[in-house]
Amino acid sequence: MTKMNKLAAAVLIAALGVSAQAKVIESSVATINGDPITATEYNNYVQSIIQYYKEERPQVLEQPYAEDFIGKEVLQKLLAKKLVSQAAKEAKVTVKDSEIDNALNTIKANFIIDEKTGKEDPKGAEKRFNAALKKEGKTLNSYKKELTEELRAQNLLKQRVQEITKAVEEKDVKDLYVNVEAYLKNNTKKIKEIEKDERKAAESKMIAAKLKQLTAEQVRIGHIYLAVTKDMPAAEVKKKEELAKKIKKEIDGGMDFSTAVKTYSEDKNTDTDMVLIKGIAPKEIDAKAFSLSVGKVSDPIKTNIGYHIIKIKGKQAEKQIGYDDIKQDLFHYLDQSRVQEAINKYIGDLWDKADIKVTKEFELDKAMAQAQAQAEQQTPAGK
């Protein structure tokens, strides 16, 4: 994560802000109850997210209108943030000096790592924090004002959430467990009853699916991958097959598997072990992975995307779980769900009463409007 992103991430309601006392009049992308969302704060936030995707998930940015989707989501978050800040100011919510100091110390802790060396350097954290402020054109005082607004809004949300959130009780946790258990054990009679409530069904199904993954039989493997594409000439595919056989022969002859991975694998992510969950991997790999014993290396395995050689490094038998094993997790899930629902409701109520004007234009909106207009033109009259 870059230094700028560290500073941005530290802002407690997950959005970059600018000082409320900004002296330079900037262009805005939207206004809410007369207060602007400036182009600077919008662009900084969008660019920090785009930079994240470039570094971590570049495939996301390859999707049509990817930056517009990001931009629209950012604008929604900034508008919601501004709404809560306005409400906190109106409610005259206070923030203690100790809260600001604690928040600053937490933020400065993000700068303990020296990015040049990759090592911890606590003494240099203050210097790197100040450099990040300077890079964004902020002083410590202006950042404290910004942070105070964020903490004030956070305190308001805590107050409102406490007022409207119903405490989780033991019965709530047990009822959820019964529903989840129905999906884990495929109790069709109970599932039919649960599905009368779409929300309960979706919730129970989601938790059951996660539990199945966590408790399923697993195997940890090393993986060598040689890619084969659909349009690859038969002669090239044959070369890959022969290379896979050669690699296996070298491993059988004493080559260290890790050395073989680094030397031959075409997947740069295969320098670390993979964990396979039974039934999730391609069936050809799944069959070998769960039949070989620990320490064994497979013969080349052909799938529709290439050749694979795997080494079994560890196995985990299927786990059996009961209510006592997961009740704390279910309690936490219900508690967090209710908190989030309360936040969404509170912000939604503010949103319904707000005067929102968006001036930022997105190509995505134009494309959707054009597609809708074309569809209407093609619809026969009277239909």
Span 10-31, mean pLDDT?
52
Average model confidence (pLDDT) across the chain: 88
Confidence of residue 2 (pLDDT cuts 50, 70, 90): very low
Span 254-275, mean pLDDT?
85
* Range(s) of the chain covered by CATH 1.10.4030.10: 3-165
pTM recorded for the entire structure:
0.68
Span 72-89, mean pLDDT?
95
Of 50-54, 271-275, 354-358, the least confident: 271-275
pLDDT (tens digit per residue) in 261-270: 999 998 766 5
Q: What pLDDT is attached to residue 243?
A: 96
Domain 3-165: assigned CATH number: 1.10.4030.10
Q: What pLDDT is attached to residue 271?
A: 62
Of 19-23, 203-207, 361-365, 369-373, the least confident: 19-23
Pick the CATH number of 217-316 from 1.10.12.10, 3.40.710.10, 3.10.50.40, 2.60.290.11: 3.10.50.40
Higher-scoring residue by pLDDT: 209, 379? 209
* Range(s) of the chain covered by CATH 3.10.50.40: 217-316
3 state SS for the chain = CCHHHHHHHHCCCCCCCCCCCCCCCCCEEEEECCEEEEHHHHHHHHHHHHHHHHHHCHHHHHCCCHHHHHHHHHHHHHHHHHHHHHHHHHCCCCCCHHHHHHHHHHHHHHHCEECCCCEECHHHHHHHHHHHHHHCCCCHHHHHHHHHHHHHHHHHHHHHHHHHCCCCCHHHHHHHHHHHHHHHCCCHHHHHHHCCCHHHHHHHHHHHHHHHHHHCCEEEEEEEEEECCCCCCHHHHHHHHHHHHHHHHHHHCCCCHHHHHHHHCCCHHHHCCEEEECCCCCHHHHHHHCCCCCCCECCCEEECCEEEEEEEEEEECCCCCCHHHHHHHHHHHHHHHHHHHHHHHHHHHHHHHCCEEECCCCHHHHHHHHHHHHHHHHCCCCC
Higher-scoring residue by pLDDT: 10, 336? 336
pLDDT at 18 over 90: no
pLDDT (tens digit per residue) in 32-57: 999 999 999 999 999 999 999 998 88
